[in-house]
Amino acid sequence: MALPGLILLAGVLAVPLAALWALRWASSRGELGHGDRAALLPFDEEEPVGQSTDQILNRPAKP
Amino acid sequence: MSVPTKTLSALMPGDVSDEHAKRALLAEIDASCRVPLLFFFVSALGWLLVGTLLALVTSIKMHHPAFLAECPWLTFGRVRPAHLNAVIFGWASQTGIGVTLWLMCRLCRVPFIAPGLATVAALFWNLGLTIGIVGILAGDSTSIEWLELPRYATPILFLSYALIAVWGVITFRLRRERHLYVSQWYLLAALLWFPWLYATAQILLVLEPVRGVVQGAVNWWFAHNVLGLWFTPIGLAAIYYFIPKVIGRPIHSYYLSVIGFWSLALFYNWNGLHHLIGGPLPAWMITVSIVASVMMLIPVITVAINHHVTMRGHFGKMRHSPTLRFVVIGAMCYTLTSLQGVANSFRGISEVVHFTHHTIAHAHLGVYGFFTMVMFGSMYYILPRITGREWPSLGLISLHFWACTIGLVVFVGPLTLGGIIQGFGMNDASKPFIDVVTGTLPYLKLRTVGGLLLGLGHVAFVANLVWLLCRVFGPYRAPVIALIKGNESTAAVGK
């Protein structure tokens, strides 16, 4: 197989192979076993769960 | 490099400073992002306006071919690729990078590292792109779809991108939060996938071009993957972050989101060759691509279910949140365009819709309906935080949203239908070709109308941003905290 063919083949295979490697790495670090905790990562004490943000349109007029 | 926590506090006198003190870390992160993100966002919007103008010229030429035809720089063969590259690399990539940088900082819990370096990268990106677009208009296009930028411009873009990708990896390594949110998986993957795609395609198609049908295979592998492995991960990362943040509720099922990410990573890469059905390629290559396209139902359906169930009971908040409006519309378009893509990969359907305006409508539903709408929503959330100012005109926000949404429907709907009719017409040997061509004119004119509406929305957005930036340098007007933290949510916390 010519060099361009090898580059193309490597290009096509690289993404799923890298994904499989990353999946193994994530599994070994326990990243796949803490879904409940990971789901809360966008939130913190300053912007906690239960608090809406960005509510700026169509608000009732101030008295 | 960290930015002092009081950077934003100094802008906010009086009673808001106590409230602001509680947001010390977020404020520090947001303030540290200000300069590089503003550079990326403002230049991205500049390219959006340029790209929109080029798109309108292109669209008008489709039904009035003599329009501006006397100027060689504005002929269809130059304006159309100039539009594509201005929008893909100028608007979509730059705003995507800006959103990526902010999300990485927020989720890694670290201030922006070396903002000066990122600003220099942005400067070089725009320099390379300007040289490239002028080169295309001057007639130096490579004539390879999605890679039209002349070879003297691309090294500058690649160097700039390398700086950004290195920044992303360093930020990830320095993160204060050990666990990863699904958005980080998408963003890291996108940062690593894009240079691989771009470098491979540049080598095989521009620097040392392969011959024959392999060119087509590489071209579609690259073009399709830019959508699926560069824009899609960034868009989905933003959706997974902003929907929970705005409604104040975690994503319905984190495990579904993980399945969605890994199945995208495993299957999307093989999809592109379904665009070459009927072409002179080995049948097995096409078949593998069709199978992989069908496998994409897994990430698409998991993402759609997850977003919908998360939003259930909260759709009313779209009335109050510009971010939620744009992001939810974008998420819906992601599902639509993905299912449409799967359907189009079947041989029987592809034989009708390929080489028609249906493909153009499909691409715009993905790049505009999904990605661009999500990026608009993200910018509505990010810009008030990094500037410390609220959006000055709510009317312009509404105009932006409705002009873009209606414009998208007027653009994509008729063109999708017109493409199908065109496809059946072209497959009918008894029908004169000119009849098929003239039959598409009403749909092409509607596309121009849709494009004008999109342009109106873009102008409204840019006007609002310019107004906001004028306030940044003017006197203090409104406490940003009071506006960005609105009503307390009464929603139940999801699983």
Provide the residue-wise pLDDT of chain B in tens; the chain has 495 residues: 333 333 333 333 334 444 555 467 888 899 999 999 999 999 999 999 999 999 999 999 999 999 999 999 999 999 999 999 999 999 999 999 999 999 999 999 999 998 999 999 999 999 999 999 999 999 999 999 999 999 999 999 988 998 998 898 899 989 988 888 999 999 999 998 898 889 889 988 988 888 888 899 999 999 999 999 999 999 999 999 999 999 999 999 999 999 999 999 989 988 999 999 988 988 998 999 999 999 999 999 999 999 999 999 999 999 999 999 999 999 999 999 999 999 999 999 999 999 999 999 999 999 999 999 999 999 999 999 999 889 999 999 999 999 999 999 999 999 999 999 999 999 999 999 999 999 999 999 999 999 999 999 999 999 999 999 998 876 655 444 444 444 443 333 333
Query: Which residue from B244, B399, B420, B269 is spatially nearest to B331, judged by alpha carbons?
Result: B244
Q: Do residue A15 and residue B177 have CB atoms under 8 angstroms apart?
A: no
pLDDT confidence of residue B73: 95
Q: For residues B454 and B58, give the distance between their C-alpha atoms in angstroms, rounded to a whole number.
A: 15
CA–centroid distance for B43 within its chain? 15
> Under DSSP, is residue A53 helix (H, G, I), strand (E, B) or coil?
coil
Out of A7, A37, A59, the one facing B200 most closely (by C-beta) is A7
Q: Do residue A15 and residue B381 have CB atoms under 8 angstroms apart?
A: no
Q: For residues B274 and B285, give the distance between their C-alpha atoms in angstroms, rounded to a whole number.
A: 9
Is B379 at the interface with chain A, CB within 8 A? no
Enumerate long-range contacts of B472-478, CB under 8 Å, 24 or more apart: B472/B387, B472/B388, B472/B389, B476/B11, B476/B12, B476/B13, B477/B389, B477/B390, B477/B392, B478/B389, B478/B390
Over residues B398-414, the pLDDT tens digits come to: 999 999 999 999 999 99
Q: For residues B322 and B154, give the distance between their C-alpha atoms in angstroms, rounded to a whole number.
A: 36
Q: Do residue A49 and residue B249 have CB atoms under 8 angstroms apart?
A: yes
**A26: distance to nearest CA of chain B, Å?**
9
Interface of A with B in 4-63 (CB under 8 A): 4-5, 7-8, 11-12, 14-16, 18-20, 22-23, 26, 31-32, 34-59
Which of the four pLDDT bands, split at 50, 70 and 90, describes residue A63?
low
End-to-end CA distance of chain A: 77
Interface of B with A in 257-276 (CB under 8 A): 258, 262, 265-270
Out of B203, B489, B495, the one facing A50 most closely (by C-beta) is B489
Enumerate long-range contacts of B336-339, CB under 8 Å, 24 or more apart: B336/B365, B336/B369, B337/B362, B337/B365, B337/B366, B337/B369, B337/B370, B338/B296, B338/B300, B338/B366, B339/B297, B339/B300
- Between helix B283-295 and helix B254-267 the angle, nearest 10°, is 170
Torsions phi, psi of A30, nearest 5? 80, 15
**B123: distance to nearest CA of chain A, Å?**
29
Q: Do residue B255 and residue A35 have CB atoms under 8 angstroms apart?
A: yes
Q: For residues B356 and A46, give the distance between their C-alpha atoms in angstroms, rounded to a whole number.
A: 51
**B19: distance to nearest CA of chain A, Å?**
10
CATH fold of B1-179 reads Cytochrome C Oxidase; Chain A (1.20.210)
**A63: distance to nearest CA of chain B, Å?**
16
pLDDT confidence of residue A30: 78
Q: How many CB contacts within 8 angstroms connect chain A with chain B?
A: 168
pLDDT confidence of residue B228: 95
Higher confidence at residue B234 or residue A61? B234
Higher confidence at residue B177 or residue A62? B177
**Residue to test with chain A: of B23, B320, B468, most A Cβ within 10 A:** B320
DSSP single-letter state for residue A29 = T
Evaluate if residue A3 carries a pLDDT over 90.
no
Which residues in chain A are closer than 8 Å to B106, comparing Cβ atoms? Answer: 42
pLDDT confidence of residue B339: 97
pLDDT confidence of residue B421: 97
Over residues A26-59, the pLDDT tens digits come to: 888 877 777 788 899 999 888 899 988 888 887 7
How many CA atoms are closer than 13 Å to the CA of B67, on its beta-carbon side?
A: 13
Interface of B with A in 109-168 (CB under 8 A): none
Instruction: Please say whether the beta carbons of B161 and B120 come within 8 A.
Output: no
